[in-house]
Structure 1
Amino acid sequence: MDMLVRSWLCIPALKEGLEQKIVQSTADIVLLDLEDSIPIHKKSLAREKLLKLDRSIWHQCNLAVRINAPSKPEGIRDLVFLMDNNIVPKYLVVPKVESSGELRVLGELMSAAGGRTQCFGIVETLKGLRRIDAIINESMNLHGLILGSADLSSEISFRISKAALMQIKCEMALAALSVGLKVIDTPCFNLRCETRLKDEIESAKSLGYSGKIAIHPSQVALINKLFSPSQEELDRAEAIFACLESPELPTAIASIDGDMIGPPFAVLAEKLLATQQMVINKKT
């Protein structure tokens, strides 16, 4: 069954009160970070912190773990730690993905360990962008892609312009969606400007993105709201079904408010209603 992936609240694994923050979060997924937010000399402490979490939390909550890059020693240590301690997060987030081989090995390891973890790869390097087609077509157990704009900016040594970032987002979305993968937007790093967060969400949603990384709990509510179908969208979806299913319709084509509709519109309407049902199920 598909799952909501609108909001991913990123929390450092060393955060004080970690267990309480997980339970209280309204994000669809809580992303426990072992990578960028953890200093190199505290990586082992971060892993120990995850080991101290109540085991029931791994089953009751939608948790993701962002490991260090599997091409680095700390990434290998992260994987060994997870498997040795039988920690099975629902999602494994893999940073700096640059080849299908990395994800293929991870998929084989997870399968061998009997895990049900779904992988999300972060595309955040120029090499990863250039190899995105190979990555998505040859990787096992890949469920989606996440865009990482901060590392991209640091690699090219200047802040990516809005126009260039939109082009990158579009190309990444087209690639992922063409093979049925989810695609998740990069964080909004401005914690004070809600207008900027709103603009980023709306532009990503218009390109087919399913969700966005949140770097502060205050961003979660707006992300959840705007990545959920609006009442206007739901009303139109219902109208499309009612119109196309009418026994009086002579063909599979009809019109609503002057707009022609047909079978493809019914497919989109069905997806919107299915997403809304998941939103309702989560609330109950």
Structure 2
Amino acid sequence: MPALRLDRPRRSALFMPASNPKALAKAREVDADVIILDLEDAVAPEQKEAAREAALRALYTGGFGHREVAVRVNGLDTEWGADDLEALARAGADALLVPKVSSPQDVLRYHEALSDAPSDLQLWAMIETAGSVLRLDAIASLARQTRLALWVIGPNDLARELRARPDAGRTFLQPFLSLAVAAARAHGLSILDGVCNEFKDMDIFRKEAEQGLMFGFDGKTLIHPAQIAPCNEVFSPSPVELEWAGRVIEAFAQPEHAGKGAIKLDGRMVELLHRDQAQSLLALARRIAARG
């Protein structure tokens, strides 16, 4: 199975409708870490086949630079899903994002459908159904035996299925977000927070992105280019965090601290787990800088 692309930051993942030529052109210019060419929710039924062809042309043309490129296909339970998978499996995308995964059997169906695809093609899954809420661990466990490499939370579809009434703090989602992150981490999956429908008030967007960071997400999916800059800022290590990380690593490297599991630094107790976190933070900063 393909290894997780941990060398590439995934702070911001912008959905762009493959049916929109201007959006496809813009995708090569924006500062998002990930571009998701959308064949599903953003495309009307009568435009599905044309959008697939447009996505194929975009992938074959290339020019996305540092950006990781995924395609959100239509589900296998639709009339377009099987053709999407067959056409796009060898088109050069980094990943295919599949919608409305509710059970381990769903993941296995997609994995089997991609059996002849290149070995480095990843399977990403939208976690956005009531069924998925009850089967998070079982679904995530398939990362060890399939192409499954990343989850994307779908808050709008989930709210619809649950008949929830979303508020600014995403109160109805919070238990689910915590459990989803826990399941993803337990099985080595990357995980992206869902979209924020607000793309004009960046204060609202930033608060939601900061909440996602607090829960432990790797990044956030976006619906508008205006959301990219604040999203990248939120999910990038701050200068204060990097300074602290450097000091933690330096402190543990001192001869007098050799073999110790915990030391004092600035009146605080820090443990080896904090050193590991510091190393991960610095590694992320290096990956972002290397992206250029």
Contact kept, 8 Å, 1:58 with 1:89, in 2: the verdict is no
2:151 paired residue number: 145
Aligned to 2:289: 280
CA RMSD of aligned residues (A): 1.7
Map of 1:44-55 to 2, 5 A cutoff? 44-53=49-58, 55=60
- 2:196 and 2:64 map into 1 onto residues whose CA distance is 29
Alignment of 1:123 onto 2:127: yes
- Pairing of 1:230-269 with structure 2 (within 5 A): 230-249=238-257, 251-269=260-278
Alignment partner of 1:168: what SS? helix
**1:175-254 map, 5 Å:** 175-249=183-257, 251-254=260-263
Q: Which stretches of structure 1, 4 residues or more, deviate above 6 A after TM superposition?
A: none
Q: What SS does the corresponding residue of 2:192 show, helix, strand or coil?
A: strand
Question: Normalization by structure 2: what TM-score?
Answer: 0.91
Aligned to 1:101, which of 90, 105, 122?
105
The 3-state SS of whatever aligns with 2:28 is helix
Could you say which residue in structure 2 is the equivalent of 1:164? 172
* Cα pair 1:94 1:122 within 8 Å, conserved: yes
CA displacement 1:108-154 (0-9 Å, x = unmatched):
44342224211221111101111111111124111121111100111
- In 2: Cα distance, 1:37 partner to 1:106 partner: 21
- What is the number of equivalent residue pairs in this alignment? 281
Partner amino acid, structure 2, of 1:165: L
- Shift, 1:54, TM fit: 6.1
| Kept after mapping to 2: 8 A contact 1:122/1:145 | yes
Whether the aligned pair in 1 keeps the contact of 2:111 and 2:147 (CA below 8 Å) is: yes
Q: Any conservation in 2 of the 1:70–1:76 contact (CA below 8 Å)?
A: yes
Q: Which residue in the other structure is 2:68 paired with?
A: 62
Secondary structure at the residue paired with 1:260? strand
Distance 2:176 2:62 in 1: 36
2:17 matched to which residue of 1?
Answer: 12
State the distance in 1 between where 2:276 and 2:164 align. Answer: 41
Partner of 2:160: 154
Q: Is the 8 A contact 1:7 1:223 kept in 2?
A: yes
Aligned with 1:167: secondary structure?
helix
Shift of 1:210: 0.4
Structure 1 counterpart of 2:133, which letter? L
Tell me by how many angstroms 1:184 deviates.
Answer: 0.7
Give the partner amino acid of 2:136.
Answer: I
Contact kept? 1:8, 1:30, Cα under 8 Å: yes
5+ long unaligned stretches in structure 2: none
Identity of aligned residues (%): 29
TM-score normalised according to structure 1 size: 0.93
2:181 alignment partner AA: A
- Offset at 1:92? 1.3
Distance apart, 1:56 and its partner CA: 4.3
Q: For residue 90 of structure 1, what is the aligned residue in structure 2?
A: 94
Distance verdict in 2 for CA 1:16–1:37, change over 3 Å: same
* 1:192-239 Cα shifts (integer Å, max 9, x gaps): 211111111111111110000110000001111110111111001100
Task: Judge conservation of contact 1:244–1:252 (CA < 8 Å) in 2.
Answer: no
Instruction: Give 5+ residue unaligned stretches, structure 1.
Output: none
Amino acid at match of 1:53: A
Deviation track 1:82-111 (CA, whole Å, cap 9, x = no partner) reads 14xx31310211110012222223334434
Does the Cα contact within 8 Å between 2:245 and 2:275 map onto a contact in 1?
Answer: yes
- Following superposition, the deviation at residue 160 of structure 1 comes to 3.2
Match of residue 34 from structure 2: 29
Q: Which moved more, 1:221-230 or 1:47-56?
A: 47-56
